[in-house]
Structure 1
Amino acid sequence: MDIDVRGPRFGAAVTTLVLAIVLITGNIWLLAWQTLAFALGAAGGVGRSPYGLLFRKVVRPRIGPPTEFESPQPPRFAQAVGLVFAGVGLVGYGLGPEWLGQAATGLALAAAFLNAAFGYCLGCEMYLLVRRVTVRTQ
């Protein structure tokens, strides 16, 4: 079942805000929250992530029905990529070195910002590239 394209972009906007606050404050608990949000999105799809649920229950009723849809697999893969970066960020902030946490969080922030601001999902593009490569090698 395809998903409303506005949902992942909304989630990316919230993620951008959360990760920017993490970079400014170094708050490991907020990064842990974002890691959990990525994990839920990777495991159950973006519609089951906290930001996806917020979009579906609060935002979507106010902006009307969708006019564009997309496959759920690329955004789900993007959530898994975000989970990896946030996990590395947790290790860096929690165990050191702190620059590792900052770098991983900064990379996740850059990807989320690209999606939120321009609708360009790096993780989705990675998914499509992996699919092309695996289809050709089989």
Structure 2
Amino acid sequence: MSVSDGPTAPARPDVDPPLDPRGVRFAAVVTTVVLTLVLISGSGWLAAAQALVFALAAFAGMRFAPYGVLFRRLVAPRLDPPAEREPAAPVRFSQTVGFVFAAAGAVGYLSGLTVLGIVATAFALVAAFLNAAFGFCLGCEMYGLIARARTARA
């Protein structure tokens, strides 16, 4: 699958260079911790903060993703260069999906629709945990499925 055949606009090389998969997994670990805290505390403001983190990556580009910046500045200098890199477009798509769920969770908690907050946050948490624990990016898999469906229709 090429970067340009996915469900979102093609990644721009100046905004979305290939990613170190260890950074993506690091971001998933931090996201897992944040979303767990949201579920424990019921904090709509923390859910909104996580939605903002997703939004920066999804809409501004992966180089602006706050957890990615932390990885590049604090962790990556202590590691060997990555053996391989992965395209940014599927990860950026997964950040968009995460944004939708985190924003829905924030709206739920902040508006008193606590069940919406819990369910939306729990869905985002499951996806983040799968990536953090097993390296399985659910949003990236969705990206691939949508890309294949578009190719089959064309």
Q: TM-score, normalised by structure 2?
A: 0.87
Structure 1 residues not aligned, in runs of 5+: none
Aligned to 1:94: 110
Is the 8 Å Cα contact of residues 21 and 85 (structure 2) preserved in structure 1?
yes
Amino acid at match of 2:22: R
Equivalent of 1:125 in 125, 132, 141: 141
Aligned partners of 1:136, 1:51: CA distance in 2, in Å?
35
Equivalent of 2:47 in 10, 27, 31: 31
Is the 8 Å Cα contact of residues 3 and 69 (structure 1) preserved in structure 2?
yes
Aligned partners of 1:47, 1:124: CA distance in 2, in Å?
18
Note the C-alpha offset of 1:119: 0.1
Aligned partners of 2:61, 2:114: CA distance in 1, in Å?
30
Structure 2 residues not aligned, in runs of 5+: 1-16
CA deviation vs aligned residue, 1:62-116 (integer Å, no higher than 9, x gap):
1221112101000000000000001111111111320110000001000000000
Amino acid at match of 2:122: G
Aligned partners of 1:2, 1:48: CA distance in 2, in Å?
14
Amino acid at match of 1:28: G
Count of aligned pairs between the two proteins: 138
Name the stretch that deviates more: 72-81 or 56-65: 56-65
Equivalent of 2:96 in 73, 80, 83: 80
Q: TM-score, normalised by structure 1?
A: 0.96
Q: Secondary structure at the match of 2:71?
A: helix
Aligned partners of 1:45, 1:67: CA distance in 2, in Å?
23
RMSD, aligned α-carbons:
0.9
Q: Secondary structure at the match of 2:81?
A: coil
Aligned to 1:67: 83
Is the 8 Å Cα contact of residues 4 and 69 (structure 1) preserved in structure 2?
yes
Q: Which has the higher helix share?
A: 1
Aligned partners of 1:124, 1:19: CA distance in 2, in Å?
19
Aligned to 1:114: 130
Q: What stretches of structure 1 move > 4 A for 4+ residues in a row?
A: none
Name the stretch that deviates more: 10-19 or 87-96: 87-96
